[in-house]
Structure 1
Amino acid sequence: MDALQESATVKQTSSRELWRDMLADELGAPVEPFGGDRVRPWLLQLVKACTAVEYGAACLVRSLEYVEQQSASVAALWPLVDEWEAVDFFSGADLAHLRPVLESLRPAELASMARRASRSRVQELPYWCQTGWQVFLRLAGENSPADELPPSMAFLALSADRLMEEGGAEAAEELRRFNRGRAQELRVEERLAEWQHSEFPQPPPSLVPAYLMIQFEPDRNEADRYYLSHWRQSDSEGWHPVRGETVHLCRAELPGAVERLIEESEARWADLRQPVILEFVLPWELLNEPVEWWAKESDHPEPTPLAMDYPVFVRSFERLQRAAWHRAWHHKWRQLKERPADSHPHWGRPAPDGAYFFHLERELKEDRQAVCLVLSEPPGDDSGTGRREVLAGLRAGVPAMIWHRTDCSDSDFQDAIGEILQDRGLGSLAESVGKWRNDALALGPEGWDGHVGRHLAILLDDPERKPGPTGPV
C-alpha cells in the first residue's frame, strides 16, 4: 500500500479510474470505484481483495504497468509480489535469514543459474531481479512439473554449491538446511537428493531462434523524434517477449541507441546457444533505412555491420497498429508458411498509371497465393510509388516485400531477385537474402557498395510474432 500511494496514477483521478478498469479486466471481476476522501482505506480494500484471489497481486501490478510502463512505483511493486508469492509457496516459512546469504551471490551468474534451476523454462530474468534474493523470490512463483524439484529450491541448491566453491561453507549449509526442511514438508526429499547428486546434461542447442525486436514509434508532436522500444524473446517453448525500457530520442541518436541495446542484449545472452535474429519495426519514413548496415563497435577503426552477425529484417509499424489489416495478413502468412512451394511473388510495374495502385491492391487480394511483393521503387518518406505499393501490399496482407534501396530497375537487382524467388520456393526467402548479403560482405568495405547484396531490403512480417501488450499510451 505504501508503494501504491507513491504512484502518480493513484494520485490522479482520471488515471486512477483507468487503472481500476484495467484491474477489473485482469481479475475478471468488478472493482469498487474510489468513493471517499481518503485514498488509503480504498487501497487497503483493493489490496485485500486482490490478495484473496490466486495471482491477484500480480494482476494488480500488471494493470498498473499497462498505465505507467516501467515506472519507479511498478519497479518497487513487482519484488513485493514475488515476495508475497514466495511466502505463500513456502507456507509462511521464515525466509528473511536467506536474504543476506543470497545477496552475496555474484550478479553475473544469476541468469544462467535461473535457467538451469528452471530446466530452461525461465530464459530471461525481469529487470527487477538484480540479486540472488530477488531471483529466489521470483522462481518461487514459477510452476514446475510434478516430477521435478521446484525451481526455487533447485536455485538454492545451486547457490549452496556456488558458495561452497567460494569458501562459504557456513552460508551454504544454511541454504541446504532450509532446503532439507522444506523438502520434508513438500515430500520432495528424493528429488532434492537427485538434484544434489546428479549432473544434468546441457540440453542440445535449440533450433528456435531468439529475437531482439526493436521498434521506432514516431513522436506525433515533435518532428524527427521517436520512442525506441524493444522486446527480447529467447524462450524456445513459445512466444513470450520480455519488454525493455522505452526511450525518447531524435533520429540521429537511433543508431547509437541500437548499438548500445544490442551490446546489452549480448551481455544478457552470453551463454545463449540459439541463433539470434534482429527485427526492426519501422514507420513509413524509416522503412528504407539500411538498418542491417548500422554498426556494432562503432568506436573501433573497423566497426562491424549488423548484417555480419545477424539476419536482419524490417517490419511495418503501421501494420502492427492497424488491426483492420490483420485478418488478410494472417491468411497470406499461412499460405507462405504452410504451402511455400505453391506461393509466388507479384512484381510491381514501373511507370504506373493513375489506376495502378487500385488494381495492384485488387490483384493482390484476389490472388491468394501472392505472398511477396517486389517493389518497382524504394519506399521514400513521401507519397511516391514505392510507398503506395507498400500500402497496397499491407492492405492486402502481403507478409513479404523486397526492394532495392536506391534503384529497383537495376539489372543486377532484377537478376538477383529472380534467383532468390526461384530458389526452393518462397520458404527459403530469408536464407536467400542472407546469402546475397554475405556475398557483399565478402567484398569488404572497399567493394561492397558495388554489390547488389549491399542494397537488398526485405520486409518479412510474421503475424504470430507481435510485441507483448503495451497497454494504453
Structure 2
Amino acid sequence: MAQPTQALDRTIVVVDVVGFTAPDRILPDRLAVRQGMYEVLKTAFAESAVDFDSCAREDRGDGALILLPPGTTKSLVADRLPDRIAVALRRYNWTRTSQAQIRLRVSLNSGEVLNDGNGWVGEAVDTAFRILDAPWAKEAFAESGRMIAFISSERFFDDVIAPDPGLLPELYSPIPVSVKTFTGTAYLRLHGELTAAVAKTPVPRPEPHDDPPLPELTSDVLDLIPRKDLAGLHRRLTRMEVPHLAVMMSRALGPAIPLPRLDGVTDAWSAFHLLTDFNAGPDGIPPAVTFLRLLAENAGGEAGAMITDWIGDQARTLRLGPALGHQRRSRPPIPDRPHLHLTIMLEPVSADPTRCTLAFWRQDDPEVWPPALGDVREIGIDEVEFRVDDVILETEDVWSGQSVSASVEFLLPRTLINLPVQRWAKEHGTGQPQPLRYGYRLGIRSLERMRARRWHRAWNVRWDSMVKDPSADRLHYSGYAEFEDHPIDAILSDEHWVGLVLAKPPTPQAGPGPDPDELTSAIRSGLPVVLWHPDAEPEKLRELLDWVLAAETGFIELPDRRKLANSGAAGTFKNSLAHDLVVMWDDPKRVIVLDQPLIPTRP
C-alpha cells in the first residue's frame, strides 16, 4: 500500500502497560497482559464509536501507538474513551490473577504526522511519548492506586478539553514534563477504581528540577506533611473550584472561629493554604484536613476519590483516622439550599441611656449554631441604624461568594422593642440607601426570653408543635370580643396557639397593675411568633396577615411571605401596611448563649 506523502492531522493515543516487565511477571503473564490490553482497547474504542481496526497502529511490546482515522471528532477521545477503558479494564482485571492484571498510562495528543514506510513520525507523535513518560505522572499514578492515568498534551487540553465543561476539565491537573529534549506542561487525570490488588513497579522519583512550582509554605500543619505529598496535593487542587466555598471554609474552621475574608481564595489550593494558618480544634483535626474531607465528599468523581486517597495516607501518618471517622459521622452534610442568619443584639447601657451596646453573631455555616461572637461595640442610640449598616456591609464582604438567602434579625430588650428596624436601610454611604426589608428576611427576637431559661421548655414545645402543624388558624388575634372575658395568659395557655397578633404595639415597659401584659404573656407561654403594627386598622391588618399566611405551609413560610409582601406582591395592600408590619420570629433551635457580660471592644 502506498504511503501518504503529505502530513495528516490525526488524533494520537499512546498506551503503556505499567510494570510490564515486573519481576513477578513471567512470560505467560506478559503474553496474557498483551492480549488483555488489546481486548480492552478494542472494546473501549468500539463503545466510543471508533472502529479500532480502522485506526493506524504500531505495537510497542508493552504498549501501542494508535492514530484515529482522519476526521474522527477529537472530543470523542476525551469524552467517551476514559470511562469505556475504565469499564473494560475493570471487567478484565476482575477475572485475572494479580500478575495478569493491567494498569495503563494513556497519553492524548493531536497534530500532523507522516508515515515514512517504517512507521509514523512527527513532532506530535514525539510529544505523545514524552508526556507519557513524565516522572510526575508516573509518581502520582503509582501513589494513587488507580487503574488508568490519562495524560493530555497542553495543546490537546487547550483545544479540546478545556473549552468544553462536559469533558470535565477540572479533573485534569497541570504537571511539569522534562523528558529528554522535551520540556513543557501536560495535564493529568487519574481514573478508574481498582477491583483487586494490581502489581505495581517502583518508579524512580523525579529529579528536584521536575518539582512543580510549589510556593514557599510555612505553618505548623504543613511542617507535618512531607513536601512530596504537598506537591502532589498542589497538583490536584490548583484550579479546582470549591462548591459552597464560604460554607465549607466555615465548617472546616468550626463555630468558634469567625470566617476570614476570602478575597484571595480562587481555587481549592488557596483555600487549603489559608486554612493551614489555623490550629486544630479539640478533636485534633487541623481545619485544612477537615476542608479536604468536605471537598472530597462534595466534589465526588475522580477528583473526590483522589483527595480521599490523599487524606487516607495522611490520616495514617498523623493518626487521625478515628477522629476523622467520628467527624464524618457526627457533622451534618452541607445543605443544597442553605440559609444564613445575621443576629444583631442591641441593649441600652445602664449608666448612660443615650448609649447602647451592639453585638452581632454571623452564621457562616447554615447547619452550625451558635456562631462565634463577631464583635461588641458601644455606640450612641442616635447612630444605631448607621452602625448596623456597618455590620451588614462587613458581613456581606464575607458572604460575597455565596449564592444563598439570608436573614437579619434584631435581638432586642423590651425597652428597645419599638425601634423601627423594619424601616432601616443599608449602604447609607452611597447616598442611595436601600431598605433592609428588600434584601433580607427581617425580624426581631426577644432578649428577655433568650436569657430566661425557665421559659425555654414551653418555647420549644410550641415551636415543635408549629413545625408539625403550621396551619394559619393557630394565630390568635388579641382584642376580639369573643375573648374579652378571659385574661390573655389563660387564652395563650391553650397549646393550639403558636402565634399572637397584638391589639396595639407593646410599650417599652410592661404595664403596671394586675392585668397580664400581652407581649410578656406570649413570650412566657412559649409562642414563637408575635406580630403587631404601629397604626394599622384591625381589619386591614387581618387581611394582610391572611394573605401572608395563605401559603399551604402556613407559618413555615411566614418570613418569606412577609418579605414578598414588601415587594408589592400582596397587591391590594398599601406598601406602608406591609412595610411597617413587625414580626417577632423566635426560633428556640437558634439560641444565643448570653451567660457572660458582653464587653465592648475599645479602639
User: What range describes the TM-score normalised by the shorter chain of this pair?
Assistant: 0.5 to 0.7
Q: CA deviation at 1:441?
A: 11
Alignment of 1:84-163 (within 5 A): 121-122=252-253, 126=257, 135-138=275-278, 140-141=280-281, 150-151=289-290
Q: Distance in 1 between matches of 2:380 and 2:566?
A: 29
1:466–1:343 distance in 2 versus 1, CA, 3 Å: farther
Partner of 1:362: 490
Q: CA deviation at 1:440?
A: 7.9
Alignment of 1:11-410 (within 5 A): 121-122=252-253, 126=257, 135-138=275-278, 140-141=280-281, 150-151=289-290, 185-186=317-318, 206-341=336-471, 344-349=474-479, 359-365=487-493, 367-383=494-510, 388-407=517-536, 409-410=537-538
Q: Secondary structure at the match of 1:299?
A: helix
CA contact (8 A) 1:117 1:151 kept: no
- Would you say 1:417 and 2:541 are equivalent positions? no
Q: Secondary structure at the match of 1:377?
A: coil
1:336–1:343 distance in 2 versus 1, CA, 3 Å: farther
Higher RCO (CA 8 Å, separation ≥ 6 residues): 1
Partner of 1:464: 589
Provide, for residues 374-416 of structure 1, a one-character-per-residue CA deviation record: whole Å limited to 9, x for no partner: 1100123244599921111111111101111234x35422321
Q: Which one has a larger percent strand, Structure 1 or Structure 2?
A: 2
Partner of 1:453: 578
Q: Distance in 1 between matches of 2:548 and 2:314?
A: 59
Q: CA deviation at 1:369?
A: 1.3
Q: Which amino acid aligns with 1:379?
A: P
Q: CA deviation at 1:337?
A: 1.1
Q: Which amino acid aligns with 2:392?
A: I
CA contact (8 A) 1:336 1:343 kept: no
Q: CA deviation at 1:228?
A: 0.7
| Structure 1 gap segments, 5+ residues each | 1-85, 99-108, 156-178, 189-202
Partner of 2:45: none
Q: Distance in 1 between matches of 2:571 and 2:428?
A: 20
Q: Secondary structure at the match of 1:225?
A: strand
Provide, for residues 81-116 of structure 1, a one-character-per-residue CA deviation record: whole Å limited to 9, x for no partner: xxxxx85x7897899xx9xxxxxxxxxx99997866
CA contact (8 A) 1:440 1:454 kept: no
1:423–1:114 distance in 2 versus 1, CA, 3 Å: closer
1:144–1:308 distance in 2 versus 1, CA, 3 Å: farther
Q: Distance in 1 between matches of 2:583 and 2:249?
A: 39
Provide, for residues 118-165 of structure 1, a one-character-per-residue CA deviation record: whole Å limited to 9, x for no partner: 8x54478935968998731426448699xx99247899xxxxxxxxxx
Q: Distance in 2 between matches of 1:416 and 1:128?
A: 39
Q: Which amino acid aligns with 2:275?
A: V
CA contact (8 A) 1:219 1:225 kept: yes
Provide, for residues 320-341 of structure 1, a one-character-per-residue CA deviation record: whole Å limited to 9, x for no partner: 1111211111111111112213
Q: CA deviation at 1:185?
A: 4.1
Provide, for residues 210-230 of structure 1, a one-character-per-residue CA deviation record: whole Å limited to 9, x for no partner: 110001122222213211110
Q: Distance in 2 between matches of 1:149 and 1:129?
A: 14
Q: Distance in 1 between matches of 2:289 and 2:334?
A: 22
CA contact (8 A) 1:373 1:401 kept: yes
TM-score, normalisation: structure 2: 0.46
1:438–1:129 distance in 2 versus 1, CA, 3 Å: closer
Q: Secondary structure at the match of 1:369?
A: coil
Q: Secondary structure at the match of 2:530?
A: strand
Q: CA deviation at 1:249?
A: 1.3
Q: Distance in 2 between matches of 1:375 and 1:251?
A: 26
CA contact (8 A) 2:459 2:588 kept: yes
> Which has the larger displacement, 227-236 or 262-271?
227-236
CA contact (8 A) 1:207 1:274 kept: yes
CA contact (8 A) 1:243 1:468 kept: no
Provide, for residues 416-471 of structure 1, a one-character-per-residue CA deviation record: whole Å limited to 9, x for no partner: 1233345433333223322222218999xxxx976311221110100110124553
Partner of 1:426: 555
How many residues end up aligned between the 2 structures? Answer: 331
1:204–1:330 distance in 2 versus 1, CA, 3 Å: closer
Q: Which amino acid aligns with 1:135?
A: L
TM-score, normalisation: structure 1: 0.58
CA contact (8 A) 2:337 2:404 kept: yes
Q: Distance in 2 between matches of 1:143 and 1:111?
A: 25
CA contact (8 A) 1:214 1:279 kept: yes
CA contact (8 A) 1:403 1:457 kept: yes
> % of aligned pairs identical?
26
1:149–1:311 distance in 2 versus 1, CA, 3 Å: closer
Provide, for residues 283-303 of structure 1, a one-character-per-residue CA deviation record: whole Å limited to 9, x for no partner: 112222221321111133431
1:272–1:375 distance in 2 versus 1, CA, 3 Å: same
Q: Secondary structure at the match of 2:449?
A: helix
Partner of 1:46: none
| Structure 2 gap segments, 5+ residues each | 1-218, 231-240, 265-269, 295-310, 321-332, 599-603
1:154–1:144 distance in 2 versus 1, CA, 3 Å: farther
Q: Secondary structure at the match of 1:453?
A: helix
